[in-house]
Amino acid sequence: MSTKRDDSESLLLELTALPTAAGKEHRVQEFLDRWLARRSRSLKWRRDRTGNLLIRRKAPGRTPPLLITAHLDHPAFVVRASEGRDLELEFRGGVHDAYFVDSRIEVFTSDGGRRLGRITELDAAAKPFKRVRARLTGGSGKVGAGDVGRWLFPPATISRDRLRTNACDDLAAVAAALEAFDSIRTRRGCEHVGLLFTVAEEVGFLGAIEVARNATRGRGGLVPRSSRLVCLENSRSFAESPIGGGPIVRVGDRMSVFSPDLTNSISRICQEESDRDPEFRWQRRLMPGGACEATAFSSFGFESTCLCLPLGNYHNMQRVDEVLAGKAPARVGREEISMSDYRGLVRMLELVARRLDHESGSTRSRLERLHEERRFVMEG
């Protein structure tokens, strides 16, 4: 058991420490390529022109696909130009202006180097992304256009049930998807389960929309139109959705609610499991602190929902409500999740993969059966 847990934590620590940005997810893609190469006998995979990646079993069966979905990017900087020690970068993602002032960053160069720097200027009105100027202060390597930068933090740690790292959103979900899929990828009855990893979520669901549009138009895209999508996220924690309270069946976000039958079926599976085993903790919440890919897929007519981990320091912003209220200084910090929540999400995904297609009908059919059973009481 300890070896399995050590392997799980190593996967999580390595993935969430990888530099990534919208449109610059290549380091995570390379990690996935290595993971796939070790499983090439049982799996097949394909990328589309945007970089979205579909992973299926070689014999996927005839049941409509159930695709565990997560995105590969995180809010980060991309270098536009460099001149000596001065850099111009754009920031791809959503972070409030106050957090940029005099913050320290690190830039990962294409020649394998790492440079340190400090933000000296912010242009918050620039389009389509905020721009900053930064001055390099140390490190080695030649910085070039397209290099990825991020906030400078200490190395990732796991302590007292908390993972603190550069990018839980959404790389902790990628790790959970890989771990759960590894446990069921040769299991009989789970042939229809696959993985879908998307790009550029943080700048408007660009990868998810590419997948959805191509499938909807019948253009031979990555996923069949009949696919059901269980989108994974790390969503900002609130008092009613605490870190450590268990992974969350997310019924909606700040933009929409998700496919009710799929959401409700997963909720019933989780409730049955917690009734059987009280140590299995889970939550069911709206989570309006952001938007996720389940909204994008639902808007294109797919059956989709979301499972998420409650997240601290959302988008690396510490004490964001107090900062916006002028009651605390803006400081960036490592994102954090509960390891027990993470392990619960892996277990939740395994349960959904095994049980979803054995669920006994939709909520409507259950209510109709109840109506037929009991309407005689009213008629009598």
For residue 104, being part of any structural domain is answered with yes
Same domain for 144 and 182, yes or no, is no
pTM across the whole model: 0.93
Same domain for 268 and 328, yes or no, is yes
For residue 378, being part of any structural domain is answered with no
The yes-or-no verdict on residue 6 having pLDDT over 90 is no
The residue-averaged pLDDT of 237-263 equals: 96
For residue 196, being part of any structural domain is answered with yes
The residue-averaged pLDDT of 108-124 equals: 97
For residue 374, being part of any structural domain is answered with no
Given this model, what pLDDT does residue 364 score? 57
Given this model, what pLDDT does residue 120 score? 97
For residue 370, being part of any structural domain is answered with no
Same domain for 345 and 312, yes or no, is yes
Q: In the chain, count H helices and then E strands.
A: 9, 17
Same domain for 166 and 233, yes or no, is yes
Same domain for 88 and 17, yes or no, is no
The residue-averaged pLDDT of 228-257 equals: 96
The yes-or-no verdict on residue 59 having pLDDT over 60 is yes
For residue 181, being part of any structural domain is answered with yes
Over residues 282-337, the pLDDT tens digits come to 999 999 988 999 999 999 999 999 999 999 999 999 999 999 999 999 999 999 99
CA–CA separation, 10 and 8 (whole Å): 5
Given this model, what pLDDT does residue 5 score? 75
The yes-or-no verdict on residue 41 having pLDDT over 80 is yes
* Residues with Cβ within 8 Å of residue 236, at least 6 apart in sequence: 287, 289, 290, 310, 311, 314
Over residues 155-191, the pLDDT tens digits come to 999 999 999 999 999 999 999 999 999 999 989 999 9
Q: At what angle do helices 2-16 and 339-355 cross, to 10 degrees?
A: 100
Helix, strand, or coil (residue 87)? strand
Q: What is the CATH number of the domain that holds 33?
A: 3.40.630.10
**C-beta separation of 168 from 174 below 8 A:** no
Give the least confident one: 1-10, 31-40, 101-110, 149-158: 1-10
| Percent share of the chain, pLDDT over 90 | 88
The residue-averaged pLDDT of 270-285 equals: 97
Over residues 67-84, the pLDDT tens digits come to 999 999 999 999 999 999
Given this model, what pLDDT does residue 42 score? 92
Same domain for 196 and 315, yes or no, is yes
Same domain for 44 and 120, yes or no, is no
Give the least confident one: 163-172, 289-298, 344-353, 360-369: 360-369
Identify the domain boundary among 127, 151, 175: 151
Higher-scoring residue by pLDDT: 301, 376: 301
Given this model, what pLDDT does residue 216 score? 72
Give the least confident one: 1-5, 14-18, 105-109: 1-5
The residue-averaged pLDDT of 3-19 equals: 91
**C-beta separation of 15 from 171 below 8 A:** yes
CA proximity to 225, closest of 276, 297, 162, 142: 297
Domain count, the chain: 2
137: tokens are 């202060």
For residue 309, being part of any structural domain is answered with yes
Same domain for 127 and 274, yes or no, is no
What are the helix (H) ranges across the chain? 2-16, 26-37, 168-184, 206-216, 260-276, 293-299, 320-324, 339-355, 363-379
Given this model, what pLDDT does residue 363 score? 55
Identify the domain boundary among 105, 135, 151: 151
Q: How many CA atoms lie within 13 A of 306 on its CB side?
A: 31
The yes-or-no verdict on residue 362 having pLDDT over 60 is no
Same domain for 85 and 58, yes or no, is no
The residue-averaged pLDDT of 184-213 equals: 95
Given this model, what pLDDT does residue 379 score? 62
CA proximity to 287, closest of 340, 251, 322: 251
Same domain for 64 and 207, yes or no, is yes
For residue 83, being part of any structural domain is answered with yes
Given this model, what pLDDT does residue 215 score? 86
Same domain for 196 and 325, yes or no, is yes
Given this model, what pLDDT does residue 374 score? 61
Q: What is the CATH number of the domain that holds 89?
A: 2.40.10
Range of the domain at 195: 2-74+156-363
The residue-averaged pLDDT of 15-39 equals: 98
Identify the domain boundary among 151, 186, 213: 151
The yes-or-no verdict on residue 368 having pLDDT over 80 is no
First to last CA, the chain: 59
Same domain for 279 and 142, yes or no, is no
